[in-house]
Amino acid sequence: MTRIVVLISGHGSNLQALIDAQQRDELGGGQIVAVLSNRAEAYGLKRAQQANIPTEHLSHRDFAEREAFDAALMSRIDNYQPDLIVLAGFMRILTPAFVQHYAGKMVNIHPSLLPKYPGMHTHARAIEAGDQEHGASVHFVTEGVDEGPVILQGRIPILADDTPDTLQQRVHALEHQLYPRAVRMICEQHPT
């Protein structure tokens, strides 16, 4: 079994896609052993609790420095002895020490076809550039924001009447299919 810890900050719809895949036994031997959030009000914590997955909250606001928060978060995560860390809408830039601690075993999903459009506002940027397609990428996390090796991508066409909001909605639906597939691939390739 591959032990998975998921980090979230908000609604947790990608987390729900992973929980649903786990309940269908479609994570390639992966098991979500905990969900941690930096926001107590994150609805994703309720999603995890409804699936009987342990949850923890650790507010970044309780720490004067980013490094202190990341060190405390690492300690909490390490209590679960994870094989894989999945960032699912975790809205924090991670320190180099955190990234190095989980090098090669932490993944993120990003709403663009990396290396195109790292960072924010990917949907508007794709439309403004006149791109014909857009999508999402699951990648390993490295110190550079959205620069890690890509594991899996999904593509959708950009429609003539797409706005950043409509494109975001369609990409988000794609993410819900893509993230469980990528996690399954990782778990099957690196069973523990």
Residues with catalytic roles: 110
Eight-class DSSP state of 61: G
CA–CA gap between residue 5 and residue 82 (Å, rounded): 6
Where is 41: in which H helix or E strand?
none
Which residues, in sequence order, are bridge partners of residue 85? Answer: 5, 106
CA–CA gap between residue 84 and residue 102 (Å, rounded): 8
Q: Find out whether 5 and 86 touch, Cβ atoms under 8 Å.
A: yes
Q: Find out whether 186 and 24 touch, Cβ atoms under 8 Å.
A: no
> Residue 46, by phi and psi: left (phi above 0), alpha (psi -120 to 50) or beta?
alpha
φ, ψ at 139 (rounded to 5°): -140, 155
Q: Find out whether 78 and 67 touch, Cβ atoms under 8 Å.
A: no
Residue pointed to by tokens 């202190």:
68
Q: Find out whether 98 and 77 touch, Cβ atoms under 8 Å.
A: no
